[in-house]
Structure 1
Amino acid sequence: MKSIIYIGLLLLTLTSCQEDKGNYTYRNINEISVTGIAATKTVTQFSILGMSPVINQTMPVSADDLEYLWYVGKIDTLSQELNIQTPVNLYPDTYEAYFVVIQKSTGIFTKVPFKLVVESQLGQGLLVLSDLNGYANLAYWERSGEVVQDVYEKVNPGLHLGRNPYRVCYMFKGYSIPAFVTVMCHDEQGGCALNPVDFTKFKDYAELFYQTPDPLHPDGYGYSNYFNYDETAFGDLYNDFIINNGQLHERSTYVGWYQPAYAVDQDYRLSEYTFMGMMQYIFYDNEHSQFLQKTSWPPNSFSVVEVPEGYFRDLYLVYADRGFAGTDYPHYYCVFKEKTTSDHYFVEVLMSPSGFKPLKKEKIGFAVQEDMPFAVSFTTSAIFYGVGNELYCYDTGNGRSVSCYNEFGSGAEITALYLVPQYGESSQYPGETVLSAVKLFVGVSLPGQEREGSVFEFEVNLDNTLTFIRKKEHIAGKIVSMTWKY
């Protein structure tokens, strides 16, 4: 027993701590803490992220000895200022974000994590396509009145939409396909399609097709939802069309690509406009001055629409859109040019269950200029058009033109027109949506600044007069097209 005790004492002696005779110098450090940063910060895309944290120090040092860093993800720097005030060009999402304070002289730092929630700003509003410094450019005018310039470049740094912009279109959600915005350009790429939520690139224009057409030359876009069908949970039931280089390409609700909707041996060249209604899809062949109807059988072919002999002889379609019909079936208002002269004609056509029928043809009394912008009022019998810095209304009932507005500014030029309906709740039937107003947006070039494009907003009255509402000046380049984003 004594032997065991002696062995235990020996082991205790060998394993006991020895006296620490090292020479250490101890000093206090500056402990840094941060307050004033919420655990979650929610901000709207493209708006200003602003926060002013409070720095607490146990041994305060000068401001020159402190560095700051705000970042998201791995290392996507937002700011290097104490009080952050920076635009948020991130995609809508939830991010892990951090604020770091560093004392330069010691290397001591404090990192504060928080969640940054970026919400999409891009609800309903007007998309404005323009040519800015040789490139296609998109501006977005939100319904509340805020304008976001350079939408695409903000979320796609270093990229461009294309050159020689031609048209911007909103393409609705289908059963198996998302909604997207297509910017059409007359360049080698043809433009591209964008996600309408955050304006990231969705696809190149060429990727919209089952077979890439050659050449890539977008002309127009047409959309028609199925008659008497409501929107489904998966999107609208519809057919829509892209006209590329005068040839038709079709996409239905259940198909994700645009497919050739024509026989390769058919000789035609379509205008950019589509006539749709009563489950009919009709197009105008500018090559042979005739209307063609897409047939369901045989597939991928057209039949010539019968009209009074000589009615459209040697006529070239300049512009067409759905016009005022009252309680009748769809009416289309058209502007045609005679190929052998400088004469222009107004033509009104009806699309009814019994077929396609021209109703009126009369010579236009005003001079139609090349690239003249038009817009059709679908609540009154009128076509609006611009000449220089003056906006006119052509009354399709009496064939007369009157000036509507000319206060766009000295040297201004009207370059684009766009009409859009506005809906609201019925006062007579609560919960029911009804047409509340028709807005006319006028794209105007005001020379003298790099961003020459301005947009004026009007309400169309029932007597074809206009009520000025507001304007946004110098928000774009030379405006070529506008559309409403839903």
Structure 2
Amino acid sequence: MKKIITFLYLLILAYACYDDKGNYDYREINQISIQNIDSLVLCDQMDLLSIPVTLEGTQYSDSNRFTYMWEVNQKVVATTKDLNVYANFPLGINTARFVVTDKELGTKAFKNFRINVSSSTAGDGILVLSKYQGHAELSFKRLDREGSTFTPNYYEALTGNRLGTNPRKIHRCYIPEAANVNSGLKIETDQRLKCLSEETLVEIGENKYLDHNFFISRAMTLPPDITEFDVKACWHLTTSATTTSLGGYIFVIANDELWHDQRMAMPAYNVDLNMTFMQKASPWHGQLSPVMFLASLTGSGTQNYSSPELLYLFDESEGQFIYANVNSSAANRACSELGIYAGYSLLYGTHTASPNQAVAVLGNGSVYRMLYLKLPSKTSETAAVPFTVLADVIVPGEVINSGTSYYPMKNESYMFFATDNGLYRYNLRDLENGNAPGSQNRIMTLTDFGYNADDKITCMTVSRTEQEILLGISRYGEDTEGMGEELKGDVLVLDLKTMNMIRKYEGVAGYPVDLMVKYQKFLRDGKENGVDVSDVLYF
């Protein structure tokens, strides 16, 4: 009986399957094959990573019928068929995958691969410090490879952190220290000095800053408790950086006081010495301008500079120049012989190609004065070289103002400066005759290179061979915060002698604040041993 029931059950089941055979619509799934992605992709950090993809389907491979997603380290970096992104990924191996989804069926195809990222930042390059959407950012272009492109705003993309909100300057130190505790780049932002590696362009360690603790750890005496360290200005001066001798200074104006450290090292003999002095205020303890300069900076041999002694500053509260002896703990002294400039700030100061002759620019918001000064560079010269104002001229505000950038030639009496949309070349000898800079000294305007009249040169630098001049240009108009999504900060590279354009990089930064040619090796004039120009820079 049991066998009969089982037989009848199987018979009914077979009939049901036969009767329902035509009720299902069987459809073959389009199977996608992803081609042209290697299992290991090699690239340099910050370079443009391009991976063109070929799709092959068993039924169709029309790219419009799919959506795409590229992931690196479990983060979506692109949603296009082909990958074209800047490799702002950590150095070393990064896990990645490419996902293709059929819009109609929802089926997916995957390609897992790895990206091995190498450093592209250890060589020579251009750094642009800018303000983008209200915060500080950095852009970079390598100069050691032809055809390389700018990596705009790499810092936050690479680190996940903000650089700051009030960027001012980039500083370069060529003297390495143990464990690189005082790393080779300083970014002046938010009244602080953020330390970055000159090789990776990011921090060595988390939130590394050069502050009063750096000076205190190197000083022979301890100051009273310090609760803040508000940086107004910084200057790294390298005097030698050869295989046998390292020497240099770091000067910082913070809390309206001068802090400075001199380092002298001979690695082959395990010699490493420093002199550190702190909290050297004005004789009147007034407010210091964020500027410092020397009376002379002379070359020594084929590669080095002679060590300086007297550093000049300006007390805004008293309207007077002062000087500090950077090789001693002696108190800062007044230069009363240079006069009183009540209500003025020191906007710029520099030594010139002529020993013991310096230029200072003062401003009070409406009037701008250029002073040509004769100054001692050492205490032993104070009798023979008295403090003297050789010239004092009023400069029109449209020629020089608080936003002007400057560069004095190293071996000539000329100075370049940029104001608003114009670049000027001025012979400092004209100061001796009382001839102020004016429109007759303008050698180019941005309109010569296709810019609008309201575009501005916001910063500039010159290559160490003095063959090229680099201009940071803003197309933001009156917006100094770099708001909006579009990058409107450009870099224009010109031949310094002919003013012919070498390269124009558009949309590579926010509002440019400072730019630098980051050299990996210190060469005073870009010459190896002072003989042959060794710089090969692919602008």
Q: Is 1:455 paired with 2:491?
A: yes
Alignment of 1:56-71 (within 5 A): none
Amino acid at match of 2:381: G
SS of residue matched to 1:310: helix
* The structure with more helix, counted as a fraction of residues: 2
Q: Is 1:482 paired with 2:515?
A: yes
Amino acid at match of 2:503: R
CA contact (8 A) 2:172 2:184 kept: yes
SS of residue matched to 1:440: strand
Structure 1 residues 403, 37: closer, same or farther in 2, change over 3 A? closer
Rounded to whole Å, the distance in 2 between the matches of 1:387 and 1:67 is: 49
Find the counterpart in structure 2 of residue 147 from structure 1. Answer: 150
Structure 1 residues 36, 269: closer, same or farther in 2, change over 3 A? same
Q: Is 1:162 paired with 2:164?
A: yes
Q: Is 1:384 paired with 2:401?
A: no
Structure 1 residues 391, 252: closer, same or farther in 2, change over 3 A? same
Alignment of 1:271-290 (within 5 A): 271-276=289-294, 277=297, 278-286=307-315, 287-288=317-318, 289-290=320-321
Q: Is 1:249 paired with 2:249?
A: no
Rounded to whole Å, the distance in 1 between the matches of 2:419 and 2:163 is: 29
SS of residue matched to 2:337: coil
Find the counterpart in structure 2 of residue 403 from structure 1. Answer: 442
Rounded to whole Å, the distance in 2 between the matches of 1:121 and 1:275 is: 31
Rounded to whole Å, the distance in 1 between the matches of 2:118 and 2:40 is: 11
Structure 1 residues 179, 332: closer, same or farther in 2, change over 3 A? farther
CA contact (8 A) 1:412 1:444 kept: no
Q: What do residues 212-253 of structure 1 show as CA deviations (whole Å, max 9, x unaligned)?
A: 965443221122234xx44247x9422212212322222444
Report the alpha carbon displacement of residue 371 of structure 1 after superposing the two structures with TM.
Answer: 1.3
Find the counterpart in structure 2 of residue 310 from structure 1. Answer: 337
Q: What residue ranges of structure 2 are gaps of 5+ in the alignment?
A: 1-29, 217-224, 266-271, 298-306, 478-483, 520-539
Structure 1 residues 127, 264: closer, same or farther in 2, change over 3 A? same
Which moved further from structure 2: 287-296 or 208-217?
208-217
Rounded to whole Å, the distance in 2 between the matches of 1:247 and 1:447 is: 35
CA contact (8 A) 2:32 2:56 kept: yes
Find the counterpart in structure 2 of residue 335 from structure 1. Answer: 361
Rounded to whole Å, the distance in 1 between the matches of 2:72 and 2:422 is: 50
CA contact (8 A) 1:323 1:376 kept: no
Alignment of 1:325-364 (within 5 A): 325=354, 329=355, 331-337=357-363, 342=367, 344-349=369-374, 352=377, 354-355=380-381, 357=385, 358=387, 361-364=390-393
Report the alpha carbon displacement of residue 265 of structure 1 after superposing the two structures with TM.
Answer: 9.7
* The structure with more strand, counted as a fraction of residues: 1
SS of residue matched to 1:154: helix
Structure 1 residues 154, 331: closer, same or farther in 2, change over 3 A? farther
Rounded to whole Å, the distance in 2 between the matches of 1:102 and 1:398 is: 69
Report the alpha carbon displacement of residue 343 of structure 1 after superposing the two structures with TM.
Answer: 6.0
Rounded to whole Å, the distance in 2 between the matches of 1:451 and 1:103 is: 32
Q: Is 1:394 paired with 2:426?
A: yes
Normalising to structure 2: TM-score of the pair? Answer: 0.64
SS of residue matched to 1:152: helix
SS of residue matched to 1:313: coil
Report the alpha carbon displacement of residue 90 of structure 1 after superposing the two structures with TM.
Answer: 0.8
Find the counterpart in structure 2 of residue 88 from structure 1. Answer: 87
CA contact (8 A) 2:45 2:117 kept: no
Find the counterpart in structure 1 of residue 278 from structure 2. Answer: 261
Structure 1 residues 138, 310: closer, same or farther in 2, change over 3 A? same
Find the counterpart in structure 2 of residue 46 from structure 1. Answer: 46
Rounded to whole Å, the distance in 2 between the matches of 1:477 and 1:111 is: 36
Find the counterpart in structure 2 of residue 375 from structure 1. Answer: 406
CA contact (8 A) 1:441 1:458 kept: yes
Q: Alignment RMSD, CA only?
A: 4.4
Rounded to whole Å, the distance in 2 between the matches of 1:367 and 1:346 is: 14
